[in-house]
Amino acid sequence: MAEKVLMKGNEAIAEAAIRCGCRHYFGYPITPQTEIAAYMAKRMPKIGGTFLQAESEVAAINMVIGAASAGVRVMTSSSSPGISLKSEGLSYMAGCDLPALVVNVQRGGPGLGGIQPSQSDYFQATRGGGHGDYHMIVLAPASVQEMASLTAKAFDLADKYRMTAMILADGTMGQMMEPVELAEGEVRPIEKPWAASGTQMTRPHNIINSLSLVPEELEKLNFARYEKYQTVIDNETLYEEYMMDDADICVVAFGIAARVSKNAVIAAREAGIRAGMIRPITLWPFPAAPVRAAAAHCRAFLSVELNMGQMIEDVRLASECARPAYLCNRVGGMIPSPELVLAKIKEIYGGVK
């Protein structure tokens, strides 16, 4: 029987990672995710794993590259400014088709910003962050339980598709405490014949590399990678729909914004407004299909985000601008209240013809 424990979001990620066979963590302290590093520092030595506090987030992501290239499950974690530092590494990982988990517990930005929660790295996560054509699988937990279960999912998807998976959490998810059901410890190592694990003199050497100087070859690599991405889009898109069957106004929100918006949707229904919510769980691939379907019967979309309007662009793209899309947002570490979202829903309901 699986145990249920009261855990902090950050620690739930760390424990879940260990339970799905991750034995290597490289990180650097930054608020509000340092608990992940601290937890790993305590746990990893006890189970023969690696915990290493690197000299920088740059060094940490490159250590991840080294371990991922060697064919083991490995992760790092940081928060917004630290993820910017990792951007070069993320591009290299995509170019080398390396699986790994990168956790971003977002804080207010840009620049040094603040230490309170935000969702302002949506573009950075879903549009790549680093240079070149690539994507990461981006997962957005909305509960401490999801911080744990999406961690396991992230590792599985990363290994299956040889991609980097990112958990895009916000500071509230990292810091809040909720009951979590953790998977029973079972290491599931998968074969990685492509890894730089040592030839043992039994095979030709493996090369983990993103350099390709012949344009025709580099083009082929890019097209092949995007064919792979299409498979991910077709098979791994995750989302949750709440009261969408007869919805008139469609709220789209992820993470903490979805928690808040759910309350607002319930309140709207009580006020006689048929509101509903689509909660993307994968931000990449973005759940375009349900958004497109919602455009058929909803009069408007309301994107609730802790940023200046980022996911709203994907809402517009997915619905092909068939309906107006409005933004309800707080930034800088402020969190929208259900009352704020409800007020916006009422405003849309009253104003849209």
Partner 1 sequence: MVVFDKPHALTDVPLHYCPGCTHGIIHRLVAEAIDELGIEGRTVGIASVGCSVMTYNYFNCDMIQAAHGRAPAVATGCKRARPENIVFTYQGDGDLAAIGTAETVHAAARGENITVIFVNNAIYGMTGGQMAPTSLPGQVTQTSPYGRDVKTVGYPVKVCEMLKELDGATYLERVAVNNVRNVRNAKKAIKKAFENQVKGLGFSLIEVISTCPTNWGMTPEKALKWAEENMIPYYPLGVYKDKTKEAEA
Residues near partner 1, by CB under 8 A: 24, 26, 50, 52, 54-56, 58-60, 62-72, 74, 88-89, 92, 96, 195-202, 205-211
Structure tokens at 203: 């095979």
Q: 124 by DSSP, 3-state: which?
A: helix
Q: 10 by DSSP, 3-state: which?
A: helix
Q: Give the shortest CB-72-to-partner 1 separation in angstroms.
A: 4
Q: Give the shortest CB-69-to-partner 1 separation in angstroms.
A: 5
Q: Give the shortest CB-90-to-partner 1 separation in angstroms.
A: 11
**Smaller CB separation from partner 1, 192 or 344:** 192
Per DSSP bridges, beta strands 275-280 and 239-242 are antiparallel
Q: What is the spatial distance between Cα 70 and Cα 66, in angstroms, rounded to a whole number? A: 6
**CA 281 → CA 142, 183, 253, 289, 350, distances in Å?**
8, 20, 10, 14, 30
Instruction: Assign 3-class secondary structure to 237-298.
Output: CCEEEECCCCCCEEEEECHHHHHHHHHHHHHHHHCCCCEEEEEECEEECCCHHHHHHHHHHC
Q: Give the shortest CB-95-to-partner 1 separation in angstroms.
A: 9
**Smaller CB separation from partner 1, 71 or 276:** 71
**Smaller CB separation from partner 1, 206 or 222:** 206
Under the phi-then-psi rule, with left for phi > 0, alpha for psi from -120 to 50, and beta for the rest, what region is 240? Answer: beta
**Smaller CB separation from partner 1, 85 or 243:** 85
**Smaller CB separation from partner 1, 31 or 87:** 87
| Helix 57-69 and helix 80-96, axial crossing angle in degrees, nearest 10 | 30
**Smaller CB separation from partner 1, 88 or 156:** 88
Q: Which helix (H) or strand (E) holds 100?
A: strand 100-106
Q: Give the shortest CB-280-to-partner 1 separation in angstroms.
A: 31
Q: Give the shortest CB-298-to-partner 1 separation in angstroms.
A: 45
Q: What is the spatial distance between Cα 164 and Cα 187, in angstroms, rounded to a whole number? A: 20
Q: Give the shortest CB-68-to-partner 1 separation in angstroms.
A: 8
**Smaller CB separation from partner 1, 72 or 173:** 72
**CA 345 → CA 228, 262, 300, 309, 328, distances in Å?**
39, 12, 10, 17, 9
Please give the DSSP secondary-structure letter assigned to residue 69.
H
